[in-house]
Chains A and B, each alone.
Chain A
Amino acid sequence: MAEMKSLRIAYGEALVQAGKLDDRIVVLDADVSSATMTNIFKKAYPDRHYNFGIAEANMVCAATGMAQSGLIPFVSTFALFGAARAFEPLRNSVAYMGANVKLGLSHSGLSVGEDGGSHQAVEDIALMRLLPGMTIFVPCDAFEMEKAVKAAVEIDGPVYIRVARPVTEYFTAKDDPFVPGKANILRDGKDAAIFAAGLMIEQALAAAKILEGEGISAAVVNFHTIKPFDQDTALEFANRCGVVVTAEEHSIIGGLGSAVAQALMGKANCKFDMVGIRDSYGKSGDPALLFKEYGLTAEDIAGKVRDKVGI
């Protein structure tokens, strides 16, 4: 069995690494540090971890105050409460001021599983995309999580890191480059291109394998950065392959698929479809079963590619 690692633990450990190198880094949490795994940072640096209690809007605004005073706050809670509940404070007190605040928000997507629809953020990327100046990372494995945290420290301005709940395999290598705004090609192909991010990388790679067995050569491109969006790579694959299918664990409204559609519109000559959550809320259940019910599996991706390739 392949080696596995929790994305959340990778996040917590990456914070410790970053904190070791830069004493401006402080971590803020809203009473869920044992779920976001910022408690790993708290253990290493108890004096640099601030619990704001169950008050996300205040945490976000206070982070701006801390950033304006020279600190680099990493703010963590569940994505729905950080990105959605505190959206307007994020808009007016973080992004509008270009504050150097980093958001590492966990429990995004259907992979939250049993906690159900109230806790599954399927709109966080859409909300963050709306904010000028916001960088958005969606890491697919522990290596990328570590690199995303490191890159976030180096960026002067707000950064959103989507931290999915599950334990994942490694789909990238430790020394693969992670350049913000530059997609990574995980697998080349000539008949179709699958654009994915985060947990959907696993499904996209599996879909490419299924398609390969049917004689369809599908590329898999990892858009670990949703914003700024790598339009050049998207256009290159769209024009070369003629078929693009996006795969995201997010609403198809406003997420990766929308970013790709906006990038390609009027510029690429290709067939296009999206795999993602189709304007609905999540619900309780085993994540694998939810992926199946919501059409987020490798077979769903392969089906859309098959359909567009015309076989």
Chain B
Amino acid sequence: MNITEQTEKARHLRADIIKMLYLAKSGHPGGSLSCVEMLMALYYNVAKIDPKNPRWEKRDRIVMSKGHACPALYAVLADKGYFPREDLWRLRKIDSHLQGHPDMRKTPGVDVSTGSLGQGVSVAGGMALAAKHKGEDIKAYAILGDGEIQEGLVWEACMSAAHFGLDNLTILLDHNGLQIDGPNDEVMSLGDIMGKFAAFGFHCEKVDGHNIGEIVGALGTDSHGKPKFICCETVKGKGVSFMENNFGWHGKAPNEGEYKTALGELGVELDG
């Protein structure tokens, strides 16, 4: 799939996300829509994975530290063939393997159960360290929300990543600027994000988080023996006008009218 085709794919994945949330009647559209291209950069371009063998020992690890955005992850995993796409429409239902937050014991392709913010990046660090320990060429990627970095554990993880020389660990930050209660800087200022990660010993890059090519480029740069931080500038609710940059859509499902409007805007017709 070339980048143009992937951009087209992103539109369809967004439609899947909207449909999942509409049918589930709950969930997190804003932060799911903002990280679609970040996931695509990994799953369709960079990460060493095998959807036919989700537990392949030599695979790269992808940790959705911002677990609430799992609809985006599930849409990607289904598209990659980890499980049937029809499963998506059972998100959050009692008999579904698709939990409200990712569960590695239930869903093929989920490497780490997440949802409690700050922990995914720390687990990813442990995976990167284990790869170093065993002398394996395995990379660990953690996708974080921007509100998430208010968790102190994130910085414990960053300090140890630099200390252990984890140049096989990459943090991708979904910097959409909003969290549940409002803009980051009203809730708890994040300050100089790039400066903070640089000070913790990371090689830092900044990209347009909706440009797959840019993200792939940043993933490929030499980090000079350091762990890597990629600040992905994104729009919360990307692709659906009334959800964009509106923190009210952090954790609210669309109703029928909103669902249809959203699909119309995305230019995607879904069955059923």
Contact = CB atoms under 8 A, between A and B. Distances in A.
**A and B interact physically:** yes
A70 B57 contact: yes
A26 B130 CA distance: 10
Interface string B231-242: 000000000000
Given A89-B122, A92-B113, A93-B116, A62 B160 contact: yes
A67 B61 CA distance: 13
B256 interface: no
Contacts of A186: none
Contact of A68 (B119, B123, B133, B153): B123
A53 interface: yes
B124 interface: yes
A96 B127 contact: no
A64 B57 CA distance: 15
Interface in A20-77: 26, 48, 50, 52-53, 55, 57-58, 61-71
A65 B156 contact: no
Contacts, number: 101
A93 B130 contact: no
A69 B157 contact: no
**What interface size band does chain B fall in?**
20 to 34
Contacts of B104: 68, 97
A61 B159 CA distance: 14
B128 interface: yes
B190 to A, nearest CB: 20
Contacts of B126: 61-69
Contacts of B153: 57-58, 61, 89
A65 B169 CA distance: 12
A50 B116 contact: no
Contacts of A295: none
Contacts of B56: none
A206 to B, nearest CB: 44
B140 interface: yes
Task: Give the dominant DSSP class at A's interface.
Answer: helix
B33 interface: no
Interface in B32-87: 57, 61
B127 A58 contact: no
B152 to A, nearest CB: 8
Nearest to B158: A58
Contacts of B134: 69-71
A70 B113 CA distance: 17
B128 A65 contact: yes
A88 interface: yes
Given A52-B160, A89-B153, A61 B113 contact: no
Interface in B100-130: 104-105, 111-113, 115-116, 119, 122-130
A68 B111 contact: yes
A116 interface: no
Contacts of B129: 50, 62, 65-66
Nearest to A73: B126
B127 A68 contact: yes
5 contacts: A55-B160, A63-B126, A66-B130, A68-B61, A97-B113
Given A69-B138, A93-B116, 18 more contacts: A50-B129, A50-B164, A57-B152, A58-B125, A58-B153, A61-B122, A61-B126, A62-B129, A63-B126, A64-B112, A68-B111, A68-B130, A69-B61, A89-B122, A92-B115, A93-B112, A96-B113, A97-B105
Interface of A: 26, 48, 50, 52-53, 55, 57-58, 61-71, 88-89, 92-93, 96-98
